[in-house]
Amino acid sequence: MGGVTRSWAGLRSISHSPALWVGGGGATLRTSRFPPAERPAVGGKRRGSAMAETCTGSRASEIFTTLEYGPVPESHACALAWLDTQDRLLGHYVNGKWLKPEHRSSVPCQDPITGEKLASCLQAQTEDVAEAVEAARASLENWSTLPGAFRAQYLTRLAKMIQKHQRLFWTLESLVTGRAVREIRDRDVPLAQQLLQYHAIQAHTQEEALAGWEPTGVIGLVLPPTFSFLEMMWRICPALAVGCTVVVLVPPASPTPLLLAQLAGELGQFPGILNVISGPAVLGLVLSSQPGVQKVAFCGAVEEGRALRRFLAGQGPELGLALGAESLLLMTEAADVDSAVEGVVDAAWSDRSLGGLRLLIQESVWDETMRRLQARMGRLRGGRGLDGAVDMGARGTAARDQAQRYVSEAQRQGAQVFQAGSVPSDSPFFPPTLISDLPPASPCTQAEVPWPLVVASPFRTAKEALALANGTPGGGSASVWSERLGQALELAYGLRMGTVWINAHGLRDPAVPTGGCKESGSSWHGGLDGLYEYLRPSGTPARLPYLSENLNYDTFGLAVPSTLPAGPETGPSPAPPYGLFVGGRFQAPGARSSRPIWDSHGKLHGYVAEGGAKDIRGAVEAAHQAAPGWVGQSPGARAALLWALAAALQRRESTLASRLERHGVELQVAKAEVELSVRRLRAWGARVQAQGCTLQVAELRGPVLRLREPLGVLAIVCPDEWPLLAFVSLLAPALAHGNTVVLVPSGACPIPALEVCQDMAALLPAGLVNVVTGDPDHLTRCLALHQDIQALWYFGSAQVSTSGPISSGFAQISRVPGKTGTNKPALSLLDLMSWVRGVFVSCWCCDN
């Protein structure tokens, strides 16, 4: 990898140097003062002092022994020529033409290495964003109603345009971003063409494979300053393939997306399907709130994603988040150390990496691995990205300052820092850095690692490795290095990561979906999963804003309404109050308070416990304790328990029907609701077998396992309508796929759900289902702000379900329940209660 590149770079510098040439016989290495055009013909006369002198054998031996670096510069003349066609002033590309409005501020587009000004980039304003969205809306109807074969032709032609101008792409991208040109030339540009070709095939078969689905609409794509051209292609290709139109907001001084938009516009016919505007990050909020934008795809920092989620609360558009950029590499004692070291180089110090790396090394090979890794770092070379002999370029002063702040903070917390590599000392280069001896409880351990840093930690056992790996907020990608395939698969299954490679790192394929979990977001790109990000069931209306002027979201659910005495009781004494069903048994609430439940005639039906934040905390802890045992159950065992619960529910039919009748439900309707609840339990018990893993064949060197796994602890707030049926219909699929549940039943009629809990106490494992009663608004706020819940389903009012208390609690929220359908099982309710991740198994794996 990097070592091979270094050697060949030295050979190329020798073979292309104008100071070296081979004489007539081709066996003697000579030097010449003449340029190649002025050299005398072989066999001609030589002029005394102007003739080349013969190199000594020791000099030739030294050259081929040291193989020192020589410059291999890539000419950027074509990039400068393209900038000249725009008079070195870049605006926005909207509706198939350049938009350069007057009276706009501009920022310089500079070479990050030399500081040379390449062009000026106009900054968009609100009017420019609105014009771009309007162009996308105008083109949506024609583009989305086209047959898939026509869209496939368009994408294929765009791929050919990129191939035709690929040199312009890689030189322009390297010149502006500072990334190594060989990474862009040999990886990014070819993969961009593959993405277009793959999604062209998917568009061609859309009518058959995606029947019953339609494009979401106008997509707003917000990219961070550290983005790469390839990351944009991963998102716009599936959107265009299924019939959506796109508005891309790129950071200031980003000419490569503008070049792509220009090539797309030159294809004609559909000029407004891809619009690119350049501006500051604050315009992301403007783009997200534009009328007509149905989905916002954001990739960037975690805090920025949280801020955007809060801003979009109640606005209407869907939000797909891809947050953070760091990755993980786990190396066992059975790994090939040299291969793993090269994996670290690719994952952390190559320009294909967007962030830093966390490195976990087993203690038995810690010393040897660190020695080889430090020696390999000494052979890394940094420099200008247009030099084909460099391993890593520069990311600019902002990235350098961020890395320096992290290193300084790690040193204050007791870490050891090792830096090496041939990197220019002047700005904005930052050397490859290896950080070790960082305490596990230090703040830097939880903070995101920036590029080009590696934080190394030892581990003793596989259990400790999984605890360290899963103990961080991020869950993007990881790799496991071991020559024992069974051990590698066991570790891969235990990692809470969206994508896991075995004995490889960073391999990407258009047909293989990649995504994240936890704070890395829940959006996917690649494969069919990437297509569904931009689809909705046919006939589903567009999401509209649900802002309510009468609801204060800052104080929503902040306090529990006081429960006052209702006066003297004239009827028979009510039954003892129902407790909270937590940990497999009924128990008193932490507040030691109960609330009355009134029937449809205004009479007292009973008392239920008034739960609060302390009770939610206890329920979540009980659910986490029960999770490992429930996930380990076989599908047949889970199905048997659901069928047993259905049989117990059927035996209580008369009791449950009478409970429902007291709340204004006719007896026949109440019996039908109980019967349908029993059928739902049995149906989901039968569908338990739908889970499992599938084997996917891709162009990568090895199979890809697509694993379906439970989300974890799932919180559900039930609606008031159909109190028993809704309770069972939401609980059954969650249990069917291995989730544990914290559930808030109907606020108006919780007693039927509590009756079912009496059977759960005898049938289900303790902590599997936890039911907390009380004020639904207050309990919703407590659940949304809890940091150890993987997903929250809310079925209350439309205003609240899209508002701050739900959206701002945490980043890892599952898909919207309204996005279900019967035409494609991949987005059924079962899939919304589970997640799929890919495990790439390298063909080099073998058991020892």
Q: Is the pLDDT of residue 799 over 70?
A: no
Which residues, in sequence order, are bridge partners of residue 56?
A: none
Give 581's contacts (C-beta < 8 A, 6+ positions apart). Answer: 754, 757, 760, 761, 769, 770, 771, 772
DSSP 8-state assignment for residue 187: I
What number is the average pLDDT over the span 574-586?
Answer: 83
Give 272's contacts (C-beta < 8 A, 6+ positions apart). Answer: 94, 95, 96, 135, 136, 138, 139, 245
How many CB atoms within 10 Å of residue 411? 14
Angle in degrees, 0-180, between the axes of helices 462-470 and 485-494, rounded to the nearest 10: 30
189's enclosing H/E stretch is helix 189-204
Least confident of 269-273, 349-353, 355-359, 701-705: 701-705
> Over the stretch 45-55, which tens digit does the pLDDT of each residue have?
444 444 344 44
Question: Same CATH fold, 580-801+814-839 and 86-146+216-323?
Answer: yes
566 φ/ψ angles, rounded to the nearest 5 degrees: -95, 5
Residue listed under structure tokens 């350098």: 400
What number is the average pLDDT over the span 22-40?
Answer: 35
> Over the stretch 522-557, which tens digit does the pLDDT of each residue have?
788 888 888 988 998 887 776 665 555 555 666 666
Strand (E) positions, 482-576? Answer: 499-502, 514-515, 524-525, 535-537
Which residues, in sequence order, are bridge partners of residue 153?
A: none
Strand (E) positions, 351-399? Answer: 357-362
Percent of the chain predicted with pLDDT > 70: 81
pLDDT score for 546: 55
pLDDT tier at 476, thresholds 50, 70, 90: confident
Identity of the residue numbered 7: S
Residue 755: HSE in the Cβ half-sphere, 13 Å Cα cutoff: 22
- 3-state SS class at 21: strand
CA distance to 560, 566, 585, per residue, from 577 (Å):
18, 15, 14
What number is the average pLDDT over the span 114-121?
Answer: 88
Identity of the residue numbered 178: G
pLDDT score for 520: 82
Give 334's contacts (C-beta < 8 A, 6+ positions apart). Answer: 482, 483, 484, 487, 848
Regarding predicted confidence, which is higher, 51 or 693?
A: 693
CA neighbor of 137 nearest in space, from 206, 219, 203: 219
Token pair belonging to 304: 């920025």
**CATH number for the 86-146+216-323 domain, one of 3.40.30.10, 3.40.50.720, 3.40.50.20, 3.40.605.10?**
3.40.605.10
Torsion-angle region of 103 (φ positive above 0: left; ψ -120 to 50: alpha; else: beta): left
Cis, peptide link before residue 577, omega less than 30° from 0: no
Regarding predicted confidence, which is higher, 38 or 294?
A: 294
- Could you give the CA distance from residue 416 to residue 453 in angstroms, rounded to a whole number? 13
∠ CA 54-58-62, nearest 5°, is: 110
Token pair belonging to 522: 């829940």
Least confident of 461-475, 577-591, 617-631, 793-807: 793-807
pLDDT score for 199: 95
Token pair belonging to 670: 């109440």
pTM over 0.95: no
Which residues, in sequence order, are bridge partners of residue 278?
A: 250
Residue pair 242/534 in contact (Cβ under 8 Å)? The answer is yes
Strand (E) positions, 627-750? Answer: 693-696, 704-710, 713-717, 740-744
pLDDT tier at 715, thresholds 50, 70, 90: very high
Residue pair 583/622 in contact (Cβ under 8 Å)? The answer is yes
Q: Is the pLDDT of residue 285 over 60?
A: yes
CA neighbor of 403 nearest in space, from 365, 352, 444: 444
pLDDT score for 561: 64
Residue listed under structure tokens 């013909």: 41
**CATH number for the 327-536 domain, one of 3.90.70.10, 3.40.309.10, 3.30.420.40, 3.90.1410.10?**
3.40.309.10
pLDDT tier at 41, thresholds 50, 70, 90: very low
Q: Kindly report the average pLDDT of the chain as a whole number.
A: 81
> Over the stretch 657-674, which tens digit does the pLDDT of each residue have?
888 888 878 888 889 999
- Could you give the CA distance from residue 273 to residue 786 in angstroms, rounded to a whole number? 40
Identity of the residue numbered 551: L
What number is the average pLDDT over the span 297-323?
Answer: 83
pLDDT score for 454: 92
Q: Is the pLDDT of residue 231 over 70?
A: yes
pLDDT tier at 92, thresholds 50, 70, 90: very high
CA distance to 30, 140, 319, 744, 800, per residue, from 553 (Å):
80, 34, 19, 20, 8
Residue listed under structure tokens 């979201």: 553
Q: Is the pLDDT of residue 58 over 60?
A: yes
pLDDT score for 574: 58
pLDDT tier at 234, thresholds 50, 70, 90: very high
Span 580-801+814-839 CATH architecture: 3-Layer(aba) Sandwich (3.40)
| Length of the chain, in residues | 848
455 φ/ψ angles, rounded to the nearest 5 degrees: -105, 110
CA distance to 71, 72, 345, 421, per residue, from 387 (Å):
6, 5, 18, 16
Residue pair 473/301 in contact (Cβ under 8 Å)? The answer is no
- Could you give the CA distance from residue 806 to residue 784 in angstroms, rounded to a whole number? 5
pLDDT tier at 831, thresholds 50, 70, 90: low
Residue 565: HSE in the Cβ half-sphere, 13 Å Cα cutoff: 3
Angle in degrees, 0-180, between the axes of helices 255-266 and 166-177, rounded to the nearest 10: 160
Torsion-angle region of 576 (φ positive above 0: left; ψ -120 to 50: alpha; else: beta): beta
Least confident of 448-457, 508-517, 594-603, 759-768: 594-603
- Could you give the CA distance from residue 564 to residue 567 in angstroms, rounded to a whole number? 9
CA 784, 787, 790, 796: dihedral to nearest 10 degrees? -10
- Could you give the CA distance from residue 229 to residue 181 in angstroms, rounded to a whole number? 13
Residue listed under structure tokens 């198939």: 96
What is the residue extent of each domain of the chain? 2-66, 86-146+216-323, 327-536, 580-801+814-839
- Could you give the CA distance from residue 236 to residue 730 in angstroms, rounded to a whole number? 34
- Could you give the CA distance from residue 369 to residue 367 in angstroms, rounded to a whole number? 6
> Over the stretch 390-435, which tens digit does the pLDDT of each residue have?
888 887 788 888 888 999 999 998 889 998 877 776 667 888 999 9
